[in-house]
Amino acid sequence: MASNAGPRLNIDNINPHVREAKYAVRGELAVKSEEYRAALAKGTTDLPFSQVISANIGNPQQLDQKPLTFFRQVLSILENPLLLEKSDVLINHLGYQPDVLERAKTLLGHVGSVGAYSASNGVPAIRQSIADFLERRDGFPANQADIYLSAGASSGVNTLLHVICANEKSGILVPIPQYPLYTASLSVLNAHCVPYLLDEQKNWGTDLATIKASYEKAKAEGIDVRAIVIINPGNPTGASLSEADIRAVLDFARQERLVVLADEVYQTNVFVGEFISFKRTLRQLQAENPNGGFDAVELASLHSVSKGMVGECGHRGGYFELVNFDPQVQAEIYKFVSIMLCAPVIGQCLVELMVNPPRPGEPSYELYNREYNSIFNGLRERATALHKAFEQMEGVECGEPQGSMYLFPTIKLPAGAAEAAAKEGRTPDEFYCMRLLDATGVCVVPGSGFGQKEGTLHFRTTFLAPGTEWVGSIVKFHKEFVEKYR
Question: How confident is the model over 208-241, as pLDDT tens digits?
Answer: 999 999 999 999 999 999 999 999 988 878 788 8
Alpha-carbon gap, residue 339 to 238, rounded angstroms: 34
d(CA 136, CA 130): 10
Note the pLDDT of residue 274: 86
Give the per-residue pLDDT at 129: 96
Compute the Cα dihedral for 244, 250, 253, 254 and give only its sign. negative
DSSP labels for 31-77? HHHHHHHHHHHTT---SS-S--EETTS--GGGGTPPPPHHHHHHHHH
The answer to whether residue 1 scores a pLDDT higher than 70 is no
How do residues 393-441 score in pLDDT, each as one tens digit?
A: 898 888 888 888 888 889 898 889 889 989 988 888 999 999 999 999 9
Asked if the model's pLDDT at residue 84 lies above 90, the reply is yes
- pLDDT of 401: 85
pLDDT greater than 80 at residue 14: no
In angstroms, the Cα distances linking 115 to 108, 118, 212, 340, 433 are 11, 9, 48, 16, 42
pLDDT over 80 (residue 64)? no
HSE (CB half, 13 Å, CA atoms) of 15?
7
Q: Which sign, positive or negative, has the C-alpha torsion 300, 350, 236, 238?
A: positive
Spell out the residues 6+ positions from residue 420 whose beta carbon is closer than 8 angstroms to its own: 431, 485
For residues 66 and 439, what is the distance between their CA atoms, to the nearest angstrom?
29
- Tell how strand 442-443 and strand 53-54 pair up: parallel
Instruction: Please report the pLDDT score of residue 485 as a whole number.
Output: 86
pLDDT for position 183? 87
| Per-residue model confidence as pLDDT tens digits over 265-321 | 989 988 888 899 999 999 999 999 888 889 999 999 999 998 888 878 888 999 999
pLDDT, tens digit (0-9, with 9 covering 90-100), for 248-263? 999 999 999 999 999 9
Q: What is the enclosing helix (H) or strand (E) of 348?
A: helix 345-355
Q: What is the Cα Rg of the chain in Å?
A: 24
pLDDT band at 99 (very low <50, low <70, confident <90, very high): very high
Distances (CA, A) of 455 to 358, 409, 429: 49, 14, 11
Distances (CA, A) of 389 to 47, 394, 398, 466, 473: 24, 11, 10, 15, 10
Q: Are 65 and 313 in contact (CB under 8 A)?
A: no
Q: Would the pLDDT of 2 be above 60?
A: no
Q: Supply the pLDDT for residue 72.
A: 96
Name, in order, each residue with C-beta under 8 angstroms of 280's C-beta and a sequence gap of 6 or more.
137, 138, 139, 140
The 3-class SS string of 376-397 reads HHHHHHHHHHHHHHHHHCCCEE
Please give the pLDDT value at position 452. 78
Q: Residue 458: what residue type?
A: H
Q: Would you state the pLDDT for residue 3? A: 58
Residue 317 phi, psi dihedral angles, 5° rounding: -130, 135
CA 328 – CA 133 distance, rounded (Å): 26
DSSP string, 114-158: TTS---TT--HHHHHHHHHHHHHHHSS---GGGEEEESHHHHHHH
Q: How confident is the model at residue 357, as a pLDDT?
A: 96
- Model confidence band, residue 380 (pLDDT cutoffs 50, 70, 90): confident
Query: Does pLDDT of 454 surpass 60?
Result: yes
Q: Which residues of 242-280 are buried (b: 16+ CB within 10 A; e: fewer)?
A: eeebbbbbbbbbbebebbbbbbbbbbbbbbeeebbbbbb
Residue 376 and residue 54: Cα distance in Å, rounded? 20
Phi, psi (degrees; rounded to nearest 5) at 27: -90, -150
What predicted TM-score, i.e. pTM, was given to this entire model?
0.88
Confidence of residue 23 (pLDDT cuts 50, 70, 90): low
Q: What is residue 71's predicted lDDT score, i.e. its pLDDT?
A: 96
pLDDT at 8: 82
Average pLDDT, the chain: 90
Please, which residues bridge with residue 194 across strands?
173
Task: Report percent pLDDT > 70 for the chain.
Answer: 98
Residue 243: pLDDT band (50, 70, 90) is very high
Checking if the pLDDT of 25 tops 90, the result is: no
Q: What is the mean pLDDT of residues 156-171?
A: 93
